[in-house]
Amino acid sequence: MAHNVIAEAKRCLNCKKPLCRTGCPINTDIPGFISAFLRGDIDEAGRILFDNNPLSAVCALVCNHEKQCQGHCIKGIKSSPVEISTIEYFISERYLDNLRLTREPENGKKVAVIGSGPAGITISITLARLGYDVTVFESKADIGGVLRYGIPEFRLPKSLIDRYKTLMLRLGIKFRFNITIGKAFGVEELFRDGFKAISIGTGVSWPVTLNIKGETLGHVHYGIHFLAHPESYRAQMGNSMIIIGAGNVAMDVARTALRMGVKDVKITVRSDRFTASNEEKEYAEIEGAEFMFNKAPVEITDEGVWFKDTECDENHKVSRRSEKATHKRADGQMIRVSQKPSNMILTQTEGLEINSRGLAMINETGETTRAGVFASGDVVKGAKTVVEAVEQSKKVAMAMHEYIQSLS
């Protein structure tokens, strides 16, 4: 561990108006859990964290702390902020194996949770603890969504996700893997079989395409596909790679490729700045990635990419592109500009409306336009963050609970 956790916790001023808490999207009681920890009640600290955010151990590793809790810590004004994430991880990781979750008596009511990413995990744990009979339906062979099939191992160990699965099994949650709802069967069949309410947390797993010539060539790949199964790409990686797009996912692509032995990795972006966090950008840089700004891709060839140079306005929007294009050579290309929902379930469920971005439309409680069907996470908000998916899913789980109670 990079920091002495106890010494770091002792730096917390236990502020009356904790700005760290305001900076946290899920309003974690940071002074509360640090105080419990310092008085030796680690289990209580773990309980505070888990009850507020079941994915606290994950968020401690992957949240953008520099913008959220730590970025708001008062200590950061004159010196370095308290490393809240390090303390949170120490407590939450330990608590995962020690936790004694309270659970209401089984009520025999069935709930279907579609998708097992952060949204589905949060909803299923919350409803199982309220006594529901929860079944999770998942397209892939295991739980986690992007946590397992996206964020690289060096940032988030898969073993941590395995421990969530164990915890969920202990809560009596059932899993149906390798089944895509909307293909084998849909919402109608779930209601037919007695599920009282359904949650959709199917994320945004389709890459947004560039729609330029050459995008279908054999050495061109989408970043999110690569990150889901990097080993499948190893044999054809080559020595050089151009990455188109410069958000956090592009940084993960670059670092994974560099760690797999690609020597020359260039991350290119149309505008004059990156959307990735400073931390992720710095890691990519120190691991060897090179950055190229103001490069708009216009065509991909077998040998590389043609780019036009751009100029940007004061809002960093591209205002001008050069007439002439220049060619950058590379063995392979990875495209990562954005993601959208892939889901037939959204388009094929009767009565379920989607917006112009293809995302599920919900009311203030998280219910879709189809009664009894709720949605949360990226499938509602577009590509966001783990903590945002958890925060919203907690509320949606409670709305599902109220909905089911109102039926009887």
Shortest approach of ligand FAD to residue 387 CB, angstroms?
6
Query: What share of residues in the chain are helix, strand, coil (percent, to 5)?
Result: 40, 20, 40
Shortest approach of ligand FAD to residue 294 CB, angstroms?
25
The secondary element (H helix, E strand) that includes residue 382 is none
Residue 184 · residue 269 · CB < 8 Å: no
Q: Which stretch binds ligand FAD (CB under 6 A): 132-140, 161-169, 320-328, 350-358?
A: 132-140
Shortest approach of ligand FAD to residue 43 CB, angstroms?
26
Q: Which stretch binds ligand FAD (CB under 6 A): 78-86, 127-135, 201-209, 264-272?
A: 201-209
Residues 22 and 58: their CA atoms lie apart, in Å, by 20
Interacting residue with ligand FAD among 55, 345, 359, 404 (CB under 6 A): 345
Query: 401 CB contacts (<8 Å, ≥6 apart)?
Result: 127, 130, 132
Q: Residue 182 or residue 366: which is nearer to ligand FAD going by CB?
A: 182
Our finding on whether 45 is near ligand FAD (CB under 6 A) is: no
Binding-residue pattern over the window 379 to 398 for ligand FAD, x denoting contact by CB under 6 A = x----xxxx-x---------
Shortest approach of ligand FAD to residue 245 CB, angstroms?
12
Question: Would you state the structure tokens that stand for residue 27, as one six-digit string?
Answer: 């309003």
Shortest approach of ligand FAD to residue 169 CB, angstroms?
17
Shortest approach of ligand FAD to residue 325 CB, angstroms?
29
Interacting residue with ligand FAD among 23, 46, 54, 115 (CB under 6 A): 115
Binding-residue pattern over the window 214 to 253 for ligand FAD, x denoting contact by CB under 6 A = ----------x--x--------------------xx--x-
Residue 377 · residue 119 · CB < 8 Å: yes
Residues 127 and 105: their CA atoms lie apart, in Å, by 12
Interacting residue with ligand FAD among 81, 145, 207, 297 (CB under 6 A): 145
Local structure of 333: helix, strand or coil: strand
Residues 136 and 125: their CA atoms lie apart, in Å, by 11
Q: How many residues does the chain have?
A: 408
Q: Which stretch binds ligand FAD (CB under 6 A): 42-50, 178-186, 212-220, 325-333?
A: 178-186
Q: Residue 326 or residue 347: which is nearer to ligand FAD going by CB?
A: 347
Interacting residue with ligand FAD among 11, 35, 67, 180 (CB under 6 A): 180
Residue 126 · residue 167 · CB < 8 Å: no
Query: 154 CB contacts (<8 Å, ≥6 apart)?
Result: 255, 259
Residue with tokens 């379930």: 345
Question: Would you state the structure tokens that stand for residue 344, as one six-digit string?
Answer: 């037939």
Interacting residue with ligand FAD among 21, 72, 110, 140 (CB under 6 A): 140
The secondary element (H helix, E strand) that includes residue 404 is helix 386-407
Question: Any idea what DSSP says for residue 194?
Answer: T
Query: 128 CB contacts (<8 Å, ≥6 apart)?
Result: 103, 134, 168, 171, 172, 173
Q: Which residues bind ligand FAD (CB under 6 A)?
A: 62-63, 114-120, 137-140, 145-146, 150-151, 180-182, 201-203, 205, 224, 227, 248-249, 252, 343, 345, 377-379, 384-387, 389
